Amino acid sequence: MVHAGPHRVAIFVYDSVTLLDIAGPAEVFKEANRFGADYRIVLLSPTGADVTSNLGVRIAVEGAVSSEPAFDTLLVAGSDLYPRARVPADLADAARIPAAVAGRVASVCTGAFVLAAAGVLDGKRATTHWQVAHELAARYPTCRVEPDAIYVRDGTTYTSAGVTAGIDLALALVEEDHGPDLARDVARALVVYMQRAGGQSQFSAPLQGPPPRSPALRTITDLVTANPRGDHSLGELAKHLNVSTRHLTRLFHDELSTTPARYVENIRFDLARALLDQGHTATQAASLAGFPSYESMRRVFARKMSISPAAYQRRFSTARRANAG
């Protein structure tokens, strides 16, 4: 849908706001103007006072968010502070009214915590950075958190994942306003993907859960971790502890909320990712990580990350390997 007049975008900022949450989307909208869009961007704070970013950079704002008329788009930037602490009531209150009257509302990364504190995400699907998605879900149980999404749209409310996902979200908003051709021009100009394949899992750290409380189960998890290529069938693992397969399965379910087979798969998957990062071929990674075949590893990558091992390696192989030769 192409807007007939200027499209007013307000970026809501506050002390300790993440600078890239502001700059990334703003660059997308500014670049879109070069190709015929007409976005008018303003930075607004809760009180109209200038704010200081997470990097200590002073950010000049154009006024208080409450003093402005309704915006076409209200974009709430995030901060590292609020996954660790409750969003202050005055900050949530400052976001609540403009969010209620804006044409659409969006958040970047942990800006979702501000929207949730303002009640904007009640009963809605949303996402945030994968590291704190569980905290958003626990703190705001009526919000249906999708931890693997790059961005989520629920009606006129949009939320996005980690800081650079704000660029993905802004491109999606530009495409919604002006169509795919203009959005594609912007993506090419900024040298970014028009739409990234896969979800946040491709960026997340390897599984590093707490050790099991049970000494018996810890023996098994240590065994699998030390030798992922071993025979770790349910029967062999149960035999190692001299327990029944049913008892071992119950131990895994009660302490780790998974099955023995899925635990082994996760350990092999994490090792395969590390091997791909180091420059091993996909076939080598599958063998060294203990997968029965490359095809079995490929199926796990497809299920967990929505991309193939080769696609993962193209995106995340080290710069050293890319520049070798």
Residues annotated as part of the active site: 109
Instruction: Residue 120: name the closest of 152, 87, 92 by CA.
Output: 92
Quick check: 73 and 38 in contact, CB under 8 A?
no
**CB atoms inside a 10 Å sphere around CB 142:** 10
- Whole-angstrom Cα distance, residue 290 to residue 265? 9
Torsion of CA 305, 309, 311, 315, to 10 degrees: 80
Instruction: Residue 144: name the closest of 118, 111, 129, 122 by CA.
Output: 122
The C-alpha angle 211, 213, 214, rounded to 5 degrees, equals 115
| Residue carrying structure tokens 């594609």 | 184
Query: For the chain, what percentages of helix, strand and coil (3-state, to nearest 5) are there?
Result: 50, 15, 40
Quick check: 155 and 189 in contact, CB under 8 A?
no
The C-alpha angle 52, 54, 57, rounded to 5 degrees, equals 45
Q: Which amino acid is at 8?
A: R
